[in-house]
Structure 1
Amino acid sequence: MARHRATTALRPSGRLLAVRRPRGDRGVSILEFTGFLPILLLIGMAAIQLGLIGYGVNQAGSGARAAARVQSQGGDGAAAGQAAVSGWLDPSVTPGGGPGSDLTTATVQVTVPGVIPLLGPYTVTRHATMPTDD
């Protein structure tokens, strides 16, 4: 533990003056870290949120392609789209077209939960179109 030591210095008038040395900057780094910690947490949570949104976009696209492919072949596109998406994203699959039309289109909408407080869940929608097999 550092103690203050009084040192002597000369005034411009020539008289002696007792001067204390400064304590230094001990403990300042923890204060700087404490002040910067909320910003680091916010940046980390934003990165996680962007990753979840990207995952949701990927899953919605996969579900839409699967639903359109199965629907174009005369199967149950809604069930195929639901099976292709992670259940925790709560997918909503809407197949369209099918046998009798030239193209089959499927739409999948998923809900990505919000990680950052005060920012709600995000809705991601993807469409896929496939030629109908005859």
Structure 2
Amino acid sequence: MTTTVRIRGRRRARRRRDDRGQVSVEFLGFLPILLVIALAVIQLGLAAYAVQQAGTGARAAARTATLDEADRKTTPEAAGKAAMSGWIAADAGVQASEGGGEAVATATVKIPSVIPGVEFGPATRSATMALPAEPGGSTAP
């Protein structure tokens, strides 16, 4: 906005500078809130991805455990880790067991953190699959 000031017969235009830079200051005040929200969204996505990878590894290990040992080309633990992304599988643990006519596999994955020094703990998922019936034998109840 321009105002006109009359000084001893001469007119001179003067600009108002009251709110100059106000938008920049408001943005700088709001920027930390935006960054925290962005980091929270990224962290939530990483946690969801880690849980999904744990489920994938557990299912792959359980599926491999249901195969006859003669047909297996790898161990259930190795199959579970191979089914996960490389950077997630590096810190993952997979365990498989058989009994009662079923194979149970559990995968534990460390949830990565975008904030240094903050740990979110592991994500654990289990999968259970029925063992195939033995030829000529009875099926498990």
TM-score (structure 2 length as normaliser):
0.74
Matched, 1:106 2:127: no
Pairwise CA distance, 1:26: 1.2
Count of aligned pairs: 120
C-alpha distance in 2, partners of 1:5/1:60?
71
Indicate the residue corresponding to 1:54 in structure 2: 48
- Consecutive unaligned residues in structure 2, runs of 5 or more: 7-14, 134-141
C-alpha distance in 2, partners of 1:79/1:51?
26
Matched, 1:44 2:38: yes
- Consecutive unaligned residues in structure 1, runs of 5 or more: 8-20
C-alpha distance in 1, partners of 2:55/2:98?
18
Pairwise CA distance, 1:116: 2.5
Identity in percent: 47
Two-structure CA RMSD over aligned residues (Å): 2.5
Is the 8 Å Cα contact of residues 60 and 125 (structure 1) preserved in structure 2?
yes
TM-score (structure 1 length as normaliser):
0.78
Going from structure 1 to structure 2, the CA distance change for 1:127 and 1:31 (only over 3 Å counts) comes to: same
Spell out, residue by residue over 1:92-120, the C-alpha distance to the aligned partner (whole angstroms, 9 max, x if none): 0010116xx41110000001211124422
What SS is found at the alignment partner of 2:63? helix
Pairwise CA distance, 1:24: 3.0
Matched, 1:97 2:91: no
Pairwise CA distance, 1:46: 0.6
Indicate the residue corresponding to 1:26 in structure 2: 20
Pairwise CA distance, 1:130: 0.2
Indicate the residue corresponding to 2:115 in structure 1: 116
What SS is found at the alignment partner of 2:44? helix
C-alpha distance in 2, partners of 1:117/1:27?
34
Is the 8 Å Cα contact of residues 78 and 94 (structure 1) preserved in structure 2?
yes
Pairwise CA distance, 1:87: 2.4
Is the 8 Å Cα contact of residues 65 and 128 (structure 1) preserved in structure 2?
yes
Going from structure 1 to structure 2, the CA distance change for 1:121 and 1:88 (only over 3 Å counts) comes to: farther
